Amino acid sequence: MKICTITELNKWLEDNYFFEDGHVLKIETSPLRIEVGYNIAGNYEANSERIIQTFTLQPDKIEEWTFPDNGNFTPSDDNYIEGIASIDSFPNIGLEFSTPLTFRLVTDSITVVKNEIIKTTFKPCVNDSDIFVTSSLTDIPTPEYWRDQLKEHGHDIVFRYFGSEEKSPDKLPYPDYSGYYIQTEDRLGKTKEGIFIRQLLKMGESISLHFQNKDMELISIWDDLTIILSEMADATIRSGNCKFNGQEWRHHLSKRAV
Protein backbone atom coordinates (compact mmCIF):
# COMPACT_ATOMS: atom_id res chain seq x y z
CA MET A 1 0.00 0.00 0.00
CA LYS A 2 1.36 3.39 -0.99
CA ILE A 3 0.36 6.42 1.08
CA CYS A 4 0.65 9.81 -0.58
CA THR A 5 -1.77 12.12 1.26
CA ILE A 6 -2.29 13.19 4.85
CA THR A 7 -5.83 11.79 4.73
CA GLU A 8 -4.55 8.36 3.76
CA LEU A 9 -1.84 8.55 6.41
CA ASN A 10 -4.27 9.53 9.18
CA LYS A 11 -6.62 6.71 8.19
CA TRP A 12 -3.81 4.13 8.35
CA LEU A 13 -2.62 5.39 11.73
CA GLU A 14 -6.16 5.41 13.12
CA ASP A 15 -6.78 1.86 11.87
CA ASN A 16 -3.67 0.79 13.80
CA TYR A 17 -4.44 2.71 17.02
CA PHE A 18 -1.63 5.20 16.35
CA PHE A 19 0.76 2.47 17.59
CA GLU A 20 0.15 3.47 21.21
CA ASP A 21 2.24 1.20 23.46
CA GLY A 22 3.71 -0.24 20.29
CA HIS A 23 7.27 -0.64 19.10
CA VAL A 24 9.85 0.60 16.66
CA LEU A 25 11.32 -2.82 15.96
CA LYS A 26 14.07 -2.12 13.47
CA ILE A 27 15.63 0.73 11.51
CA GLU A 28 17.69 0.03 8.40
CA THR A 29 19.53 2.64 6.37
CA SER A 30 20.62 2.82 2.71
CA PRO A 31 17.78 2.68 1.87
CA LEU A 32 15.77 3.70 4.92
CA ARG A 33 13.37 1.03 6.17
CA ILE A 34 11.48 1.29 9.48
CA GLU A 35 9.77 -1.72 11.02
CA VAL A 36 7.03 -0.90 13.53
CA GLY A 37 4.43 -2.97 15.35
CA TYR A 38 1.94 -3.19 18.18
CA ASN A 39 0.44 -5.93 20.36
CA ILE A 40 -2.77 -7.40 18.99
CA ALA A 41 -3.15 -10.15 21.63
CA GLY A 42 -1.88 -10.82 25.13
CA ASN A 43 -2.51 -9.77 28.72
CA TYR A 44 0.93 -8.26 29.45
CA GLU A 45 1.57 -10.72 32.30
CA ALA A 46 5.14 -11.99 32.59
CA ASN A 47 5.94 -15.00 30.37
CA SER A 48 2.47 -15.04 28.79
CA GLU A 49 2.05 -15.14 25.02
CA ARG A 50 2.08 -11.91 23.07
CA ILE A 51 1.29 -11.41 19.38
CA ILE A 52 2.68 -8.41 17.50
CA GLN A 53 1.40 -7.15 14.15
CA THR A 54 4.31 -5.63 12.26
CA PHE A 55 4.67 -3.28 9.28
CA THR A 56 7.63 -2.10 7.21
CA LEU A 57 7.61 1.57 6.22
CA GLN A 58 9.52 2.44 3.04
CA PRO A 59 9.73 6.21 2.43
CA ASP A 60 10.39 7.44 -1.08
CA LYS A 61 11.99 10.89 -1.45
CA ILE A 62 13.13 11.79 2.08
CA GLU A 63 12.92 15.47 3.00
CA GLU A 64 13.64 15.10 6.73
CA TRP A 65 14.87 12.28 8.97
CA THR A 66 15.89 13.21 12.51
CA PHE A 67 16.58 9.88 14.20
CA PRO A 68 19.62 10.53 16.44
CA ASP A 69 22.07 7.67 16.11
CA ASN A 70 23.51 8.22 19.59
CA GLY A 71 22.37 5.12 21.44
CA ASN A 72 19.60 6.87 23.40
CA PHE A 73 16.96 4.62 21.85
CA THR A 74 17.35 1.05 20.63
CA PRO A 75 14.68 -0.35 18.29
CA SER A 76 13.32 -3.50 19.91
CA ASP A 77 10.12 -5.18 21.06
CA ASP A 78 11.50 -4.68 24.58
CA ASN A 79 11.09 -0.91 24.26
CA TYR A 80 7.55 0.46 24.17
CA ILE A 81 6.77 3.74 22.41
CA GLU A 82 4.11 6.31 23.23
CA GLY A 83 2.81 6.32 19.68
CA ILE A 84 3.17 7.58 16.11
CA ALA A 85 1.53 10.80 14.90
CA SER A 86 1.11 12.24 11.42
CA ILE A 87 2.83 15.37 10.12
CA ASP A 88 1.04 17.50 7.54
CA SER A 89 3.84 19.13 5.55
CA PHE A 90 2.08 19.74 2.24
CA PRO A 91 2.91 18.65 -0.40
CA ASN A 92 4.78 16.13 1.73
CA ILE A 93 3.60 13.89 4.56
CA GLY A 94 5.41 12.69 7.63
CA LEU A 95 5.48 10.71 10.84
CA GLU A 96 6.53 11.74 14.34
CA PHE A 97 7.69 8.86 16.54
CA SER A 98 7.46 9.33 20.33
CA THR A 99 9.65 6.69 21.91
CA PRO A 100 9.69 8.84 24.33
CA LEU A 101 12.63 10.24 22.36
CA THR A 102 10.98 12.15 19.51
CA PHE A 103 12.16 11.89 15.90
CA ARG A 104 10.56 12.73 12.56
CA LEU A 105 10.30 11.44 9.02
CA VAL A 106 9.07 13.71 6.22
CA THR A 107 8.74 12.29 2.71
CA ASP A 108 6.67 12.61 -0.44
CA SER A 109 5.12 9.14 0.03
CA ILE A 110 5.40 6.00 2.13
CA THR A 111 4.98 2.41 1.04
CA VAL A 112 3.55 0.31 3.86
CA VAL A 113 4.03 -3.45 3.84
CA LYS A 114 1.97 -5.46 6.33
CA ASN A 115 4.19 -8.24 7.59
CA GLU A 116 3.40 -11.53 9.26
CA ILE A 117 2.59 -11.47 12.95
CA ILE A 118 5.29 -12.23 15.51
CA LYS A 119 4.55 -14.63 18.37
CA THR A 120 6.67 -14.17 21.46
CA THR A 121 6.22 -13.75 25.23
CA PHE A 122 5.99 -10.80 27.58
CA LYS A 123 9.28 -10.52 29.41
CA PRO A 124 9.14 -10.21 33.22
CA CYS A 125 9.45 -6.61 34.35
CA VAL A 126 9.34 -5.63 38.04
CA ASN A 127 8.63 -2.01 38.99
CA ASP A 128 10.98 -1.33 41.88
CA SER A 129 8.95 1.65 43.07
CA ASP A 130 5.41 0.26 42.87
CA ILE A 131 3.82 -2.66 44.72
CA PHE A 132 0.23 -3.92 44.97
CA VAL A 133 -0.58 -6.52 47.62
CA THR A 134 -3.65 -8.54 48.51
CA SER A 135 -3.88 -10.44 51.80
CA SER A 136 -6.41 -12.56 53.65
CA LEU A 137 -6.22 -10.10 56.56
CA THR A 138 -9.72 -8.80 57.19
CA ASP A 139 -8.73 -5.42 58.66
CA ILE A 140 -6.53 -2.74 57.20
CA PRO A 141 -3.41 -2.21 59.35
CA THR A 142 -3.36 1.00 61.36
CA PRO A 143 -0.75 3.72 60.75
CA GLU A 144 0.82 2.67 64.05
CA TYR A 145 1.36 -0.81 62.57
CA TRP A 146 3.68 0.52 59.85
CA ARG A 147 5.48 2.72 62.35
CA ASP A 148 6.09 -0.17 64.74
CA GLN A 149 6.98 -2.73 62.07
CA LEU A 150 9.47 -0.42 60.39
CA LYS A 151 10.91 0.45 63.81
CA GLU A 152 11.73 -3.25 64.21
CA HIS A 153 13.69 -3.00 60.95
CA GLY A 154 15.63 -0.02 62.30
CA HIS A 155 13.67 2.82 60.70
CA ASP A 156 12.06 5.80 62.41
CA ILE A 157 9.28 7.05 60.17
CA VAL A 158 6.65 9.77 60.25
CA PHE A 159 3.49 10.43 58.23
CA ARG A 160 2.59 13.45 56.15
CA TYR A 161 0.37 14.48 53.27
CA PHE A 162 1.81 16.22 50.19
CA GLY A 163 4.16 19.00 51.29
CA SER A 164 2.97 18.95 54.91
CA GLU A 165 4.80 18.66 58.18
CA GLU A 166 4.65 15.53 60.34
CA LYS A 167 1.20 14.15 61.13
CA SER A 168 0.64 12.02 64.22
CA PRO A 169 -0.48 8.45 63.36
CA ASP A 170 -3.56 8.77 65.56
CA LYS A 171 -4.64 11.83 63.55
CA LEU A 172 -4.78 9.94 60.24
CA PRO A 173 -8.31 9.03 59.07
CA TYR A 174 -8.40 5.28 59.75
CA PRO A 175 -9.26 2.99 58.04
CA ASP A 176 -8.72 4.90 54.80
CA TYR A 177 -5.61 7.01 55.15
CA SER A 178 -4.68 6.58 51.50
CA GLY A 179 -3.18 9.77 50.08
CA TYR A 180 -0.69 10.11 52.94
CA TYR A 181 3.05 9.48 52.75
CA ILE A 182 5.61 7.64 54.86
CA GLN A 183 8.72 9.79 55.31
CA THR A 184 11.63 10.38 57.70
CA GLU A 185 11.66 13.46 59.89
CA ASP A 186 14.96 14.73 58.50
CA ARG A 187 13.59 14.76 54.93
CA LEU A 188 10.38 16.67 55.56
CA GLY A 189 11.99 19.95 54.51
CA LYS A 190 13.85 18.41 51.55
CA THR A 191 10.96 16.87 49.62
CA LYS A 192 7.20 17.15 49.45
CA GLU A 193 6.54 13.43 49.10
CA GLY A 194 7.84 10.07 50.38
CA ILE A 195 6.41 6.55 50.14
CA PHE A 196 2.90 7.14 48.86
CA ILE A 197 0.02 5.16 50.35
CA ARG A 198 -2.01 4.99 47.16
CA GLN A 199 -4.77 2.57 48.14
CA LEU A 200 -6.10 0.85 51.27
CA LEU A 201 -9.16 -1.21 50.48
CA LYS A 202 -11.15 -3.82 52.41
CA MET A 203 -12.80 -6.39 50.11
CA GLY A 204 -14.99 -8.76 52.09
CA GLU A 205 -12.63 -11.26 53.73
CA SER A 206 -9.45 -9.71 52.33
CA ILE A 207 -7.64 -6.41 51.88
CA SER A 208 -5.66 -4.79 49.08
CA LEU A 209 -2.83 -2.33 49.56
CA HIS A 210 -0.98 -0.21 47.00
CA PHE A 211 2.25 1.68 47.77
CA GLN A 212 4.54 3.77 45.54
CA ASN A 213 8.02 5.04 46.38
CA LYS A 214 8.33 8.67 45.29
CA ASP A 215 11.57 9.39 47.16
CA MET A 216 14.48 7.15 46.15
CA GLU A 217 16.42 8.24 49.23
CA LEU A 218 14.05 5.93 51.10
CA ILE A 219 15.09 2.78 49.24
CA SER A 220 16.09 0.86 52.40
CA ILE A 221 12.76 1.73 54.06
CA TRP A 222 10.95 0.80 50.85
CA ASP A 223 12.63 -2.61 50.64
CA ASP A 224 11.83 -3.38 54.28
CA LEU A 225 8.25 -2.19 53.80
CA THR A 226 7.82 -4.63 50.91
CA ILE A 227 9.22 -7.43 53.10
CA ILE A 228 6.64 -6.57 55.77
CA LEU A 229 3.94 -6.67 53.12
CA SER A 230 5.19 -10.03 51.83
CA GLU A 231 4.89 -11.51 55.32
CA MET A 232 1.19 -10.75 55.59
CA ALA A 233 -1.20 -13.70 55.59
CA ASP A 234 -1.59 -15.27 52.12
CA ALA A 235 0.11 -12.28 50.50
CA THR A 236 -0.07 -12.00 46.72
CA ILE A 237 2.24 -9.34 45.34
CA ARG A 238 2.05 -7.65 41.95
CA SER A 239 4.76 -5.37 40.65
CA GLY A 240 5.21 -4.41 37.02
CA ASN A 241 3.80 -7.35 35.07
CA CYS A 242 4.92 -9.95 37.64
CA LYS A 243 3.07 -11.80 40.39
CA PHE A 244 4.71 -13.31 43.49
CA ASN A 245 3.77 -15.00 46.71
CA GLY A 246 5.54 -13.76 49.81
CA GLN A 247 8.44 -16.20 49.65
CA GLU A 248 8.98 -15.55 45.95
CA TRP A 249 9.08 -11.80 46.58
CA ARG A 250 11.69 -12.12 49.31
CA HIS A 251 13.75 -14.34 47.00
CA HIS A 252 13.48 -11.67 44.29
CA LEU A 253 14.78 -9.04 46.73
CA SER A 254 17.68 -11.27 47.79
CA LYS A 255 18.73 -11.81 44.16
CA ARG A 256 18.53 -8.09 43.42
CA ALA A 257 20.78 -7.32 46.38
CA VAL A 258 23.56 -9.60 45.11
pLDDT value of residue 123: 86
Residues 177 and 105 in one domain: no
Answer yes or no: do 155 and 69 share one domain.
no
- Three-state DSSP class for 18? helix
Q: Is the pLDDT of residue 258 over 60?
A: no
Whether 256 contacts 158, CB under 8 Å: no
Q: Which of 86, 121, 156 is the last residue of a domain?
A: 121
In the predicted structure, residue 145 carries a pLDDT above the cut 80? yes
Q: What is the pLDDT of residues 124-135, one digit of tens each?
A: 889 999 999 999
| 16-20, 126-130, 134-138, 252-256: least confidently modelled range | 252-256
Assess whether 81 and 191 both reside in one domain. no
Whether residues 63 and 161 share a domain: the answer is: no
Bond into 100 cis (ω within 30): yes
The whole-number pLDDT of residue 78 equals: 82
Give pLDDT, residue 153: 97
- The confidence band for 231, taking pLDDT boundaries of 50, 70 and 90, is very high
Q: Is 92 exposed, middle or buried (0-12, 13-18, 19+ CB in 10 A)?
A: middle
Mean pLDDT for 208-231 is 97
Q: Enter the pTM of the model.
A: 0.73
Q: Averaged over 201-209, what is the pLDDT?
A: 94
Structural domain total, the chain: 2
Q: 103 is in which domain, residue-wise?
A: 2-121
